[in-house]
Amino acid sequence: MTLTFIGQQITIYGGFFILVAGILGELFTIIVFLSLKTFRENTSAFYLSIMSFVNIGQLVFGLFSRIMIYGFAIDWNSMSVAFCKARLTTFLLCSLISYICLCLAIIDQYLVTCNHVRWQQWSNIKTAYYLIIIFAFICCLFLVPYPIFLQHVTSPSTGKVTCTVTDQNMSIYRNYFISLFLTGYIPDFISVLIGILAYRNIQQIAYRIVPIVRRELDIQLTTMVFIQVLLNFLTNVPCVTMIAILYATTNISNAAILEILQFISTITILIFYTYFGSSFYIYMCVSERFRRQFVYVMTKIYFRRWRQQLAANNQVAPS
């Protein structure tokens, strides 16, 4: 049994588990945030809702395609040049927006929990809408080269078609700027630094004159987002570091070393994808209030609504 075979099985079973659990979890998060007025009017919850939407896109376009490619040798990239261009562009866009939403959410929690009233005023839904639109536009600009330079390349020795970039400058832009910095170390360290500051603020919030409802909500959201930030750091940094190692070892010809590196890369990539499907489970674990809110939404709102609709359908009209 080789490491390649073991990595293939881990990709299939581990990947499908992360995919299904992740999509269900992100859908539950969206349902809770959109069902309660407390969250609909909160800026951080708005960022987290957008993050859950794009996380589903990342799991579908990124993880599912990876399972099919490395688990079952079904590469849709090689079958369609349009899919080749759209897949990589879409899941990179989802990654960028997800990291931006996480950074904006922890920045927002820092602003609303700080002492300066002027800073607190920056936290509002109108500003959040503008920021999401602006950053989404900037992300699209960063990814414009991908549909242009991605193309089908046929290997002269094996005849295998791959979806890749042949332009040297575009390869450097993709491998180092996008992969290592824009979706790697930069959002990780920024979010962790601000997360520590925000978490320190809620440690001192008991000494401030703040309404009890708002205080509980600020503590809840800051804790939820801060743990999400820490998980992002722990899952993203190993994957990004492994990508950097693979870039630096492209000239190695030893098959055994390459197999080991590829196996480690497979593990770190699966760990990386856990971030995109973990929001709901993090919130359920760290916040008792969120657990109560989830039970309330599912039982008091949707289950009751379903029962009322069922009763209305079964009701016989009087003659």
188-216 per-position pLDDT tens digit: 888 899 989 888 888 876 656 666 777 78
CATH code of the domain covering residue 52: 1.20.1070.10
Q: How many residues does the chain have?
A: 319
Whether 264 maps to a domain, the answer reads: yes
CB atoms within 10 A of CB 178: 18
Q: Please give the pLDDT value at position 319.
A: 47
Strand partners, 154: 161
Q: Rounded to two decimals, what is the model's pTM?
A: 0.88
Q: Cα–Cα distances in Å, from 191 out to 53, 129, 197, 225, 227?
A: 20, 20, 10, 10, 11
* 23 domain-assigned: yes
| Number of domains into which the chain is organized | 1
Does the residue 218 lie in any domain?
yes
* 313 within a domain of the structure (yes/no): no
Count how many Cα atoms sit within 13 Å of the Cα of residue 227 in the half-sphere of its side chain.
15
Assess contact for 135 and 100: CB atoms under 8 A.
Answer: yes
**Mean pLDDT to the nearest integer, 253-266:** 84
Which ranges constitute the DSSP H helices of 165-254?
168-172, 186-203, 212-248
Residue 81 lies in a domain: yes
Flag whether pLDDT at 228 surpasses 80.
yes
Range of the domain at 104: 3-303
In a domain, 27, yes or no: yes
* 145, containing H or E segment: helix 145-149
- Only one residue has tokens 């699966």, namely 270
Q: Give the H/E segment covering residue 164.
A: strand 161-165
Q: Which of 32-36, 161-165, 241-245 has the lowest average pLDDT?
A: 161-165
Contact 307, 263 (CB under 8 A): no
* pLDDT the model gives residue 47: 94
Q: How far apart are CA 24 and CA 45, in angstroms?
A: 18
Q: DSSP secondary-structure letter at 318? A: P
**Element of type H or E holding 23:** helix 3-35
**Does some domain include residue 319?**
no
Structure tokens that stand for 28 in this block:
């539950």
Per-residue b or e along 224-258, where b marks 16 or more CB atoms closer than 10 Å to that residue's CB: bbbbbbbbbbebbbbbbebbbebeeeeeeeeeeee
Of 59, 63, 56, 65, residue with least CA distance to 83: 65
Q: Span 276-300, mean pLDDT?
A: 91
Coil, helix or strand at residue 249: coil
Residue range 103-125: average pLDDT? 85
pLDDT, averaged across the chain: 85
d(Cα 172, Cα 178) in Å, to the nearest integer? 9
CB 236 within 8 A of CB 191: no
pLDDT score for 207: 58
Q: For residue 299, is it within any domain?
A: yes
CA 126 to chain centre: 23
**Is the confidence at residue 317, as pLDDT, over 70?**
no
